[in-house]
Amino acid sequence: MLGGMLQFTAFMLFWAISVKIIDLGNLNTLAVLILLSLCSIVQFLGSSCVTGQVFATAVRNFPAQKGRVVGLIKGWVGLCGAMYTQIFVGFVPVDLDDQDDPLWLYFCLVAAICCISATFVPSQYIRVHAPATSLAVFEANVRRRVRLGYGILLCMGITCITSALIEHVVSRMVLTGLAVIMICLWASPVILAWDGLDVADGGGGVLDIPLIGEEGVGGQKPASLTIKKMIKTLDFWLFLWPCLVLIGGGIGLTTNIAQMFGSIDSSGNVVALTFFSATQSLSRVGAGGLCDVLRRRGLSGAVVVLGGLVFMLVGYACFVVNTEGLLFVGVLCAGVGFGSAWPVMVVVVAELFGEEHLGGNYMVYDGVASAVGALVFGKFIPEEIYDAHTEDGETDCYGKECFRLTYVIIVGLVLSAVVSVSILIKRIHKKGDKF
């Protein structure tokens, strides 16, 4: 609830400043920049409050299916940008071809309303249920809700993509209708709290054996470490680097995708970005479920990170060739790798460092990987190489050399991350009940 209020406040300030309800005309440029930066900090703090608590709660309450539940939540996170945008397009009559249309500034107002609706309002209706009569009954009830959640998420994804693809060729009424459908789908997870989804028996549940998240690989629950103690361990650094590379590779792609396609005289970046969004969202769901499958076989979720790195490696290897067709293939592969990182980070951090301080521990990974990945993979590396191959007096670079060295460097970094996570996996399964 606190996180939602902070985000609501930040977005409302952004909106009020942008449409000049709050007039900053007497302030110099530096003062305005500082004020907007403070708003961004408030927005980030609100997001961190929500993110840390949501995933810590999910892991603690669904120990046997933490991967699936976290993956489902991360799938929704992956779609939220498209969802907000298409709801805004459906209700605000902006000129889709004119990015300078002043009505676009009202997106911050819509985002503020969405934030408060998705946090403050539901928090007033949270119920604490009595524990189920047996583990089998509890697991069966969770499985029913997760499957229904998958269905709702799939419907939302299809609706968002459909709205984005046809927004230039249909009437305003159609877009508004799709926006109404998205709002209904957005609110529909409330039915997951319906008692009618409960079952009377376990139905032969398949998750009735000890899992890593509950008792550790060798039968002992992993110790819970604070942030200070966590960052002193070798496992922290061995896992942080692969996460940073996966997330950085995805952020670098989305940041530079227009220039990547433009450099080879292709206009396919919009379609490619849509495919990337859909692929990484599906990957979030699948990776979370795969963590549970591996845990039932005594394997750590870090194995999924290794698989994600392989997809990222294949993706950037396709980019090195730098033809339009292989750019699309690379975008899809990189989307799988990028999406897989998000739910697995939550699960593996809980495996390695316990659940008591999971909210703070996870946010260290989330914050560091996102910030450093955005700066290094999204800005410093590609910007320097792109500018070096741009003709004097020009702002755009054309030719395969504009990004080729960037791709080669990232391929090398991904290979180093493969080595790092491989060492971590070996350490995890060697020490077994000691972590």
Q: Which domains does the chain have, with CATH numbers?
A: 224-429 (1.20.1250.20)
Q: Give Rg (Cα) of the chain.
A: 23
Q: Residue 430, exposed/middle/buried by CB under 10 A (0-12, 13-18, 19+)?
A: exposed
Q: Please report, as a single letter, which amino acid is at residue 421.
A: V
Count, residues in the chain: 435
Cα distances (angstroms) measured from residue 306 to each of 38, 301, 330, 424: 37, 9, 17, 10
d(CA 359, CA 374): 22
What token pair was written down for 344?
A: 């697995």
What token pair was written down for 222?
A: 């992993």
Per-residue three-class SS string for 92-131? CCCCCCCCCCHHHHHHHHHHHHHHHHHHHHHHCCCCCCCC
pLDDT of amino acid 422: 95
pLDDT of amino acid 217: 42
DSSP string covering 194-238, please? Answer: -GGG--SS--S-S--S--HHHH-TTSSPPPP--HHHHTTSHHHHH
pLDDT of amino acid 126: 61
SS3 105: helix
Cα distances (angstroms) measured from residue 236 to each of 242, 315, 352, 416: 11, 26, 8, 16
d(CA 389, CA 24): 40
Q: What is the pLDDT of residues 40-88, one digit of tens each?
A: 888 888 887 888 778 888 887 787 788 888 888 888 887 777 788 888 8
Q: Which stretches of the chain score pLDDT less than 50?
A: 202-220, 433-435
d(CA 317, CA 325): 13
Query: Residues 6 or more apart from 275 whose CB is under 8 A from it?
Result: 328, 331, 332, 335
pLDDT of amino acid 127: 58
CA 167 to chain centre: 25
d(CA 382, CA 260): 10
